[in-house]
Amino acid sequence: MAYDPNNVFARILRGEIPSRKVHEDEHTLAFHDINPLTPSHILVIPKGPYVSFDDFSEKASDAEIAAFVRAVGKVARDQGLAGDGYRILANIGENANQEVPHLHVHIFGGKRLGRMLPKE
């Protein structure tokens, strides 16, 4: 999957599409999902043009990687999710149904989430 500079998250970063921000720093942005699947559903994205974790881990600076990981934890704490628990999810590539070609992590919380994947 190639990076598309006109993907929805790139447009949010440029201010072309509004978002309900919960965190922003030099390297990351976190905002509420417009179609939440749980009471708390927040997306955390790096500001750089990275498609996936493998792309990010190969090309991002140490400062970008640290900021991204710290942003996920900070958002979970700030949203009151750390005590009862939360789930983070990143869909990477076609087999995982990645829809937007910009690395993003979903933070789900605010209710019991059940099993991650059904037993086969």
32 given a catalytic annotation: no
| Catalytic-labelled residue, pool 27, 102, 104, 106 | 104
**21-59 core/surface letters (b: 16 or more CB in 10 A; e: else):** ebbeeebbbbbebeeeebebbbbbbbbbbbbbeebbeee
Q: Any idea which residues carry the catalytic annotation?
A: 104
